[in-house]
Amino acid sequence: MAKLSAICVIIAIAAHNDWELEQTDINGTYLNVTLSKMIYMRQPRGYEAPGKADHVCLLFHALYGLKQAGCEWYHHFYEVMCKLSFTRCQAKHAVFYNYTDEDVLIVAVDVDDLTMAGSSKQVILQFKDRLCETLHIKDLGELHWLLGIEVKRDRVRHTITLSQHSYIDKIVERFSLQDAKPVSTPLDPHHQLMIAQCPSTPRQYEDMRNVPYHEAIGSLMYSALGMRPDITFTITFLSQFMQNPMRQHWDAVKRVFRYLKGTRGHVLTISSGSNNQNRLQGFCDANWASHEH
């Protein structure tokens, strides 16, 4: 999987150079893979072969849920991209690129989703046609949604806006805080939170037993790593209480949800004014970085 930071850099490069941004989905991702090792599995309950209930199945293709499926799929896709003359980025192994004197194409992989940034519409169409010869794909057209992030583009101003408002609505509802009152700051500076406040008695442990503290921190962490860096310090600070949180810590986590609810309209805008050439140097290997596009 390409990290969200890598995809943001690719989007920034596309905004800077006015490139095309499109997305493609691969059908039956793991089922495209022929396993390189012999793996056996019990027959699924209710689907046993007549008279052979004690037999096991030899797998020829990777299945969803198989531990080796992700690794096998990556090696298969890597071979496909190599045959299509793509080079794997040395810094991010889920990012591939291909450039000629006329065109450039960058592909970021997120399991079965491909995000493509190309210098022209034609180079993207050619890549899709060649990919269809090996894999079954679904063309999703221009990039509008990515990993729960809404992508809006202004070709006139050379800007791309990223928003997580839909994801924020989803996690706020998941933790039953849709009716909570919004606040203007993610952390209350007047309330001190310390390790000494953690539960120490059986009654306190029982009171926090069913509180989804870990799940809430994980949901907020994705938003912090994505489009909401304004909550990064707060989430990092609250993460230190994950092993043994108290009610005060849970109230502080709920405050972050209330803050996001009140600021759900905040967006991250990438414009052509950013220094993307410097980003290229740190993102790709020397061969790609030296090719100025």
pLDDT tens profile 143-157: 998 888 899 988 888
Asked if residue 285 belongs to a domain, the reply is yes
Residue given tokens 């040395």 in the structure block: 90
C-alpha distance from residue 129 to each of 31, 122, 217, 271 (Å): 20, 11, 42, 31
Residues of the domain holding 112: 4-33+65-158+272-289
19/119 same-domain check? yes
Q: What is the domain-level CATH number for residue 20?
A: 3.30.70
pLDDT at position 288: 38
Q: Is the pTM of this model over 0.85?
A: no
234/190 same-domain check? yes
Gap between the Cα atoms of 53 and 282, Å rounded: 56
200/243 same-domain check? yes
Asked if residue 149 belongs to a domain, the reply is yes
186/129 same-domain check? no
pLDDT at position 125: 92
Gap between the Cα atoms of 288 and 122, Å rounded: 21
pLDDT category at 273 given cuts 50, 70, 90 is: low
97/219 same-domain check? no
How large is the average pLDDT for residues 88-93?
89
147/253 same-domain check? no
The answer to whether the beta carbons of residues 115 and 146 sit under 8 Å apart is yes
The answer on pLDDT for 55 being more than 70 is yes
The answer on pLDDT for 277 being more than 70 is no
- pLDDT tens-digit series, residues 169-228: 999 999 999 999 999 999 988 878 877 777 677 777 787 778 899 999 999 999 998 788
Gap between the Cα atoms of 67 and 203, Å rounded: 40
13/112 same-domain check? yes
The answer on pLDDT for 281 being more than 60 is no
pLDDT category at 289 given cuts 50, 70, 90 is: very low
123/247 same-domain check? no
- pLDDT tens-digit series, residues 7-49: 888 888 888 888 999 999 888 888 888 888 888 888 888 888 8
Asked if residue 38 belongs to a domain, the reply is no
How many structural domains does the chain have? 2
124/151 same-domain check? yes
Cβ neighbours, 10 Å, residue 5: 12
- pLDDT tens-digit series, residues 228-271: 889 999 999 999 888 888 888 899 999 999 999 999 989 888 87
130/12 same-domain check? yes
pLDDT at position 262: 93
173/248 same-domain check? yes
Residue given tokens 């006329």 in the structure block: 102
